[in-house]
Structure 1
Amino acid sequence: MKLKFPLIAAFVAMLTLTACGGGSDSSDRIAVSSPATLTKTDNTVGTGAEAVTGKSVTVDYTLWLYNDKAADFKGTRLESGPYTFTIGSTNTIQGFQQGVLGMKVGGKRTILVPASLGYGASGSNAVPPNSGLVFELVLKSVK
């Protein structure tokens, strides 16, 4: 009889911990989200040459995973640096190309890229499947 109360207390404690999810921390999991459409926001409008199809452009960029819970949609920062590519080529994701199109040298733009115009259902090394992206970039040159 004396063992009945400690056993009941242990059982209740175990149920309580189980209901709490076992103590795992959900903050270490990456939340996958994506904007519905491509969105381009000019923070500074450039005055130089315009980025058009067929031209080689150089940008300075920073890339984040899209996070619909963040005020600026910037989740985990993935990379940054200069990048040169030809608009219309197949070696750069469509959302990035479409986002740069129409910018003028000296311009600064934020681009929200849906997963369908990014790495899609397959993802990439650092980008989980079906993840949207946020690029902040400055157009440095058009050739």
Structure 2
Amino acid sequence: MHLKTLKVPVFLIFIASLLLISCDDNDPRRIDYSTVPEPFSIEGAEKITTETGLEYYVIEEGICPSGDEDICTVNARDQIQIFYTKRLKDDPDRILSSSYANGVEIPVTTSVGSGRIITEEGFKQGVLGMKKGEKRVLILPPDLAYGNNPNSQYEQDTIWIDLELDEIIY
């Protein structure tokens, strides 16, 4: 058999193999959102709207055992531990990121002022004033989410964030 005759079938087998590998659900780079909880229900919760247009709902009140509100509530300088899930408001099945991804069940440590987890201005505003154990739903209009980022595919979208404050570290 000639080498030319073998090139086409070998090439086709190579392409088919690449397609099969790319369809593999066990791809370690693929983010698994199957363990992310359902969105918090806002039914019966009071809607609070800030001057900037951020809407939020307190789903469960937090605690302040010491009674000193200054150390019991999140401030702009604090490092905190949170559970969160960011979704598109109009398509709640579309998860953008979550602390529960890949089956993780421990909170994420982040700073309120840093851009690692709390990247959206509305997220920064919405976490302020929370107490340990508090759960909130934040509704970020585009200008408080990704609207100021023309490179984002979500610049016109409203973002829904389920947020639970596990701990204020300092």
TM-score by length of 1: 0.62
1:10 match: none
Shift in Å at residue 50 of structure 1? 1.3
2:81 match: 58
The answer for unaligned runs of 5 or more in structure 2 is: 1-51, 65-71, 100-106
* Aligned equivalent of 2:95, options 45, 58, 77: 77
Higher strand share: 1
After TM superposition, list the pairs within 5 Å mapping 1:76-95 onto structure 2: 76-81=94-99, 82-91=107-116, 92-95=119-122
| Rg larger in structure | 1
Q: Distance in 1 between matches of 2:89 and 2:156?
A: 10
Whether the 8 Å contact between 1:66 and 1:75 is mirrored in structure 2 is no
Q: Distance in 1 between matches of 2:156 and 2:111?
A: 25
* Aligned equivalent of 1:98, options 125, 142, 150: 125
Whether the 8 Å contact between 2:145 and 2:155 is mirrored in structure 1 is no
Whether the 8 Å contact between 1:123 and 1:130 is mirrored in structure 2 is no
More contact order relative to length (CA 8 Å, sep ≥ 6)? 1
The answer for unaligned runs of 5 or more in structure 1 is: 1-35
Structure 1 residues 117, 60: closer, same or farther in 2, change over 3 A? same
Amino acid at match of 1:134: W
Return structure 1 stretches of 4+ with deviation > 4 angstroms.
none
Q: Distance in 2 between matches of 1:114 and 1:123?
A: 17
Root mean square deviation, CA, Å: 2.2
